[in-house]
Structure 1
Amino acid sequence: MQLVDPRPSRPIPIRITPLIDVVFILLVFFMLTSRLLPTSFLELDNSTAPGQSVDGDPLPELVVEASGQVRWQDQAWALPALMQELRRSQVTEVNLATSGEAQLTDFTRTLTTLKTAGIEPHWQRSAPAQESE
């Protein structure tokens, strides 16, 4: 008399359909419950030591415009002239923003030029334009 059924000779296939369903449900759950928080400034390089307070004057704000010029202190500057003025003013760190119509190439050129000159840029994402009602 045999109490246990003999094992079949061929392997039993593993069904992965329930596993795929569970993974899909988890994916949907995390996509719906997570959210991306907007940030106003994205620091590209942080040289502040832990525990060190940040004092002093506010950082100069540069805005890359659609024309490719950079606005600083209510004046539009060509990039080479702006770099000379920033060196003369001994600026070592700036906030960099873009106007809504600015080209990515102008932003990248400005960012690269600032970093090459030893000026630490912090990129400010501009707020979405509000539609007038």
Structure 2
Amino acid sequence: MQLVEPRPHRRLPIRMTPLIDVVFILLVFFMVTSRLAPTSQLQLDNDTRASAGGDGEPLPSLVMQPDGRIQWGDRLETPAQLARALTRAGESEVNLETDGQVSLGDFTAGLTHLQDAGITTHWQRSSGGTASRQEAP
């Protein structure tokens, strides 16, 4: 004895309106709860106060020029050459100053050479139009 009539074998249509509503609610939820951070920026240690080395001597001041070379006193060299010179001089920490004319690619390449040589770099943007010359080592 069969109490329920058999259903016909037709497909039930999927209603899209509730699915779209759920998708929009999830989208709003993730937009509100996520923190949007720019991925194209380089996070740096910007502690540029007049810091001193471990022995009380001031840190060498480097100035990056718009052409990508770095000035250390009277020397004007490529980042790779300067990294080797700083390593030979026993420097492990420096202050690097740039102005608004230095391209991001040149800055990143210079910073990479210094960090690859094991030199901790503190960076600051020059407050004036041009960076000032610093004392030679």
Q: TM range, normalised to the smaller chain?
A: 0.5 to 0.7
Q: Give the alignment's TM-score, normalised by structure 1.
A: 0.54
Q: Give the alignment's TM-score, normalised by structure 2.
A: 0.52
Deviation readout 1:45-64 (Å, 9 max, x if unpaired): xxxxxxxx965111111111
Greater Cα offset, 86-95 or 102-111: 102-111
Structure number, greater radius of gyration: 2
Runs ≥4 in structure 1, deviation > 2 angstroms?
A: none
Deviation readout 1:39-98 (Å, 9 max, x if unpaired): xx8139xxxxxxxx9651111111111111100012211122211111110100000111
1:103 corresponds in structure 2 to 103
Structure 1 portions without partners, runs of 5+: 1-40, 45-52
Structure 2 portions without partners, runs of 5+: 1-44, 131-137
SS class of match (1:66): coil
Q: Give the number of equivalent residue pairs.
A: 82
Shift of 1:129: 3.5
Tell me, in whole angstroms, the C-alpha distance in 1 between the residues paired with 2:115 and 2:108. Answer: 11
Shift of 1:121: 0.3
